[in-house]
Structure formats: C-alpha cells, structure tokens
C-alpha cells in the first residue's frame, strides 16, 4: 500500500481527503456490499463523502476524510493508532466514535448506536447521518438478497431511531433522511 514515511506529518486539505480515499480503497479492496449486485465496498464510503459534500455542502475535510474511513476499523484490520498516525487525531477520533465493536452481538451493537447517538461529536453525527442515508438508499435500490420485507422495514425503523438520537445536526441532510425514510412504505 502506498504511503508516506512514518516521520512525515498527516496531510491536510485536499491531500488528506485524497489520501483517505486511497487508504480506504486499499483496505476495502476485496470487499463487496451485501446487495444483489455485489458492488465494490469502496462505493459506500465514497458515497458518504459525496452525500456530505455535494448534498449537504459540508466542506470540513476532517469530516469528509472520516466519512471515507468510517468502516476501516470495523470491517478491516485497521487500528485507531494506524489512522491517527496517518490522518491525525481528529480524523481517527471521529472514525472511532462511529465504529461498532464487532465482538458484540448484533442486537447489542444496534442498541448502542441508538444510545450513543446523542453523545457523538458534531463531525461523527454528520458521518452517522450520511451513513444512514446511504444505507437506506441501498436497502431501497440494492437490498441484500436474503432480506425479507420485515427485515428491511426493521432496518428503516432502527435507522430512524439512530438519526432521531443525533438531534439537530444538519437540516438539509435531515430532510434528505426523512425523504429516504418515507420510502419504507414502498419497500417490497
């Protein structure tokens, strides 16, 4: 994997974001999404950054980099220390905030996301909101093949509880979430 020397400082600005995209692409290189089309996993974190920047007008590079990296600890062999060394403490801290502990049962992880949502930093709330928008869009357009209607509806209900716990973080993206969440009634 390409990278900077251990002694160089974390990049900033556009360089930080491009480095985060490169890093995430490498880490997720063999993963695909659960949908029927098995899209490359990297499309998901890049999609989060797109939702934040293009739809939400978010320009904070640390938030955008954290969005791209949000699943690296959870779904790859990446550590928080590795992210901190490469991208700085701010980005690493946001990724840690939105990371589920995979050793816990799925039901526990889901309950903890609801419980922790109000206490997340503003950056982490933005990443979490974008994640839920992207995930609901995927459940509508490209649902996992083995998910029956009931599971899709339960996912929508759970995502709504997480987003409700975030509070008022970004009115434009909250409206977008509400628009996507309204598609629950159209699920098949």
Tally Cβ neighbours within 10 Å of residue 140. Answer: 16
Q: Is 82 annotated in the active site? A: no
Looking at 22, 74, 82, 100, which residue is catalytic? 74
Closest by alpha carbon to 16, among 81, 86, 104?
Answer: 86
Quote the CA–CA distance of 186 and 109 in Å, as a whole number.
27
User: CA–CA distance from 79 to each of 95, 156, 167 (Å)?
Assistant: 10, 30, 29
Alpha carbons 113 and 99: distance in angstroms, whole number: 9
Q: Is 74 one of the catalytic residues?
A: yes
Identify any residues that bridge with 40 across adjacent strands, giving them in sequence order: 32
The single residue of 75, 82, 84, 93 carrying the catalytic annotation is 75
The angle, 0 to 180 degrees and rounded to 10, between the axes of the packed helices 122-141 and 43-50 is: 120
Question: Which residues are part of the catalytic machinery?
Answer: 74-75
């Amino acid at each position: 994997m390409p990278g900077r020397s251990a002694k160089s400082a974390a990049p900033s600005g556009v360089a930080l974001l491009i480095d985060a995209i490169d890093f995430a692409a490498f880490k997720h290189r063999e993963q695909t999404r659960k949908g029927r089309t098995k899209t490359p996993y990297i499309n998901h974190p890049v999609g989060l950054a797109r939702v934040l920047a293009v739809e939400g007008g978010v320009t904070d590079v640390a938030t955008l980099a954290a969005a791209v990296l949000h699943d690296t600890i959870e779904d790859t062999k990446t550590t928080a220390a590795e992210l901190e060394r490469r991208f700085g403490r701010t980005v690493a801290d946001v990724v840690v905030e939105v990371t589920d502990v995979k050793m816990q049962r799925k039901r526990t992880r889901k309950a903890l996301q609801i419980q922790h949502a109000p206490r997340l930093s503003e950056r982490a709330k933005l990443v979490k909101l974008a994640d839920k928008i992207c995930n609901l869009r995927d459940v509508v357009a490209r649902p996992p093949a083995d998910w029956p209607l009931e599971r899709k509806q339960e996912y929508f209900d759970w995502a709504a509880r997480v987003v409700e716990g975030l509070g008022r973080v970004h009115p434009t993206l909250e409206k977008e979430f509400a628009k996507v969440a309204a598609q629950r009634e159209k699920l098949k």
